[in-house]
Amino acid sequence: MNTTSSLRSSSALCVATVVVAGFLCGCTTGARFTVQAERRDGAPVAAPSYRLKPGSGLTASGASPALSAQVQRDVRAALASRGLYAAPEGVVPNLEITVDLGQGPARSKTLRHTAPVYAEGSPPVSRNGELRRDGGSAASMPRKIGEREIVQVVTVHPKYLRLTAHPSRSGAGRRSGESAALWSVSVTNEDESSDLAGYARLMVAAAMDWIGRTTGAPTEVTMSHRDERVVFLAHGTGRPSQVAVDAGTPSSARSGIDG
């Protein structure tokens, strides 16, 4: 094998190995969320005033008082970005918006990946698909002849945020007997992290563009602490991509979870 072909083989091997190893160690570019939003046919895009109502998950032991307060602040900011405002004391709001946050029981999940198989010599990848530090020089790396499956069992932690808007109990809608939700947004995540507090703001940001809209089918969103929506919620600075109530289809969030 000449030097040029050896370098090409080495380069291809390194790329393949980094991809596999990164997937196995969870070194992704962001936290992934599934968003499901529904809006009842004929419901207004947004009623202007609301009152928040903490849900059972937000008041349970899974969320501390500090986290509960943070989530409610973030939800108010997200609602404001969509043209809604909190009704002053003594004023009957148009909507009651229930905020719920929680975490389900951990469960085991089987992941399957592939790693290259070589024809001769010591494989430059270990059993879990990671690049061996003693893999040898590029010139001695063997020829790839196929791939093998790697099976890994991990523990995942389901996390969720739900926003649900009903006509106010004191408003005209409830007086006429109407009780169905006008709109709802559900954000879920399932990965190896059990840090509900660390994910709470990301989930509010993931829900932000879908308030008062419908996703049709579940929508995948990748969110990070550097995303403009998260910065907006945390600091009140910047401007989310979608802030007008009549804006178009929400844009996907970008970049990694690490700050």
| Residue-range domains of the chain with CATH | 3-26+109-153 (no CATH), 31-108+156-235 (3.30.160)
Q: 79-103, pLDDT tens digit by residue?
A: 999 989 999 988 999 999 999 999 9
Nearest to 42 by CA among 146, 167, 144: 167
pLDDT band for 48, please (50, 70, 90 cuts): confident
Ranges of H-type helices in 104-179: 172-175
What is the rounded distance in angstroms from the CA atom of residue 237 to the CA atom of residue 57?
Answer: 29
For 219, the token pair is: 């929508």
pLDDT attached to residue 248: 36
Residue 216 confidence (pLDDT) above 80 = yes
For 133, the token pair is: 């530090």
Beta strands in the chain (DSSP E): 31-39, 49-54, 85-86, 95-103, 107-118, 144-167, 183-191, 219-223
Contact of 14 with 144, CB cutoff 8 Å: no
Crossing angle (nearest 10°) for helices 196-208 and 65-81: 10
Whether the full predicted model's pTM is greater than 0.75, yes or no, is no
pLDDT attached to residue 10: 38
For 179, the token pair is: 């009780």
**Vertex 206: Cα angle to 98 and 169 (nearest 5):** 15
pLDDT attached to residue 232: 94
Residue 255 confidence (pLDDT) above 50 = no
| CA Rg value for the chain | 24
pLDDT attached to residue 148: 87
Please give the average per-residue pLDDT across 52-66, as a whole number: 75
Q: 134-180, pLDDT tens digit by residue?
A: 555 555 557 788 888 899 899 999 999 999 999 887 655 444 445 68
Residue 37 confidence (pLDDT) above 70 = yes
What is the rounded distance in angstroms from the CA atom of residue 228 to the CA atom of residue 205?
Answer: 9
